[in-house]
Amino acid sequence: MNFEDTGHKPVLLKELIDALKPKENEIYFDATFGNGGYSSKLLDTVNCKIIAIDQDPLVQSKAEEFKQKYGERFDFFEEKFSGIQNVMERIKEKKVNGFIFDIGVSSMQLDNPNRGFSFQNEGPLDMRMDSKGQTAADLINNIKENELADIIYHYGDEHKSRKIANKIVEYRKNVKINNTSELARIVKSCFPSKYYKKHPATKTFQAIRIYLNNEVGELCAGLNNASQYLIKGGKICVVSFHSIEDRLIKNFFQFRKNDSDSVRNLFKKYKNKVFTPNDEEIENNPRSRSAKLRFAIRNENIFSSINLSELGFESV
């Protein structure tokens, strides 16, 4: 499969395959199908089966290409992480050898101005991964100032969150904020004029996207669902790009790790090892720079759900 047409390249692909160690006739679940980078590599490496999901309706055509090429070895469902259980109930396979998650927004979504994920290209302020429900414009034009400030602070780690929220609310009194360029200009005006390593709107856009798509809640649900259907000795491999996601993943994998008698610890002696891109990958794919890969191996304990508060996260 050629990924150059979309500009989307699977990140830490070699490291993920090395960690997963796929085997013949095993079943793997690609929870973020996207452009099919991880699924393609697995299917071409060994004679395995892939169950894939993605909440983005625009990946359907790529999934159809895979179905034509790989036949019964590949099944796709339009679904969120929280819907993994729905998928497992619909198929004959009830246990999975490995789960793959690639968290966050894809290059295909970032580079499409009509999706509204990036301040680099002017477009409608949308940011919906599944193209359903309220848009980012609906959110920022109607939410209370203090709630918006909390979202920008907690999900963007933005220390100017109060000032940014106030500026947005003052601006929208006169005109609705409907496109990415407008929002980026408003946020940028809250910063002094000087050289920026990152665009000043980066953290605000990230925070709004994470909140709008309930990404933290979905990630927690996905890890729980994966743990429920993973065989003993099976692996969960997760690639993430932000500290919020990485902290949740780490806390989930090492939950009750030091309680030797705890039946709620789900993984074998998790070592807290993190894989990051090498210089060559970063040069070839600059967006991979902040990527981190973690994986954990399922133990024999009976599944018991772990909620967000137990992982140190509060609802905003």
Query: Any idea which architecture 131-212 has in CATH?
Result: Orthogonal Bundle (1.10)
In sequence order, which residues have a C-beta less than 8 Å from that of residue 5 and are 6 or more positions away?
Answer: none
Q: Which residues does residue 127 pair with via DSSP β-bridges, in sequence order? A: none
Q: What is the mean pLDDT of residues 241-248?
A: 94
pLDDT tens track for 205-216:
999 999 999 999
Q: Could you tell me the pLDDT band of residue 315, with boundaries at 50, 70 and 90?
A: confident
Domain ranges of the chain: 13-108+215-311, 131-212
Is 3's pLDDT higher than 60? no
Q: Which of 29-38, 185-194, 205-214, 247-256 has the lowest mean pLDDT?
A: 185-194
Q: What is the mean pLDDT of residues 252-273?
A: 88
CA dihedral 10, 14, 16, 22 (to 10 degrees): 110
pLDDT tens track for 147-203:
999 999 999 999 999 999 999 999 999 999 999 999 999 999 999 877 567 889 999
Phi and psi of 129, rounded to 5°? -70, -35
Is 71's pLDDT higher than 80? yes
Residue 305: CB atoms within 10 A of its CB come to: 12
Q: What class has domain 13-108+215-311?
A: alpha beta
pLDDT tens track for 95-121:
999 999 999 888 888 888 889 888 888
Whole-angstrom distance, CA of residue 197 vs CA of residue 203: 12
Per-residue confidence (pLDDT) for residue 114, from 0 to 100: 86
Q: Model-level pTM greater than 0.85? A: yes
Q: Are the CB atoms for 63 and 32 separated by under 8 Å?
A: no
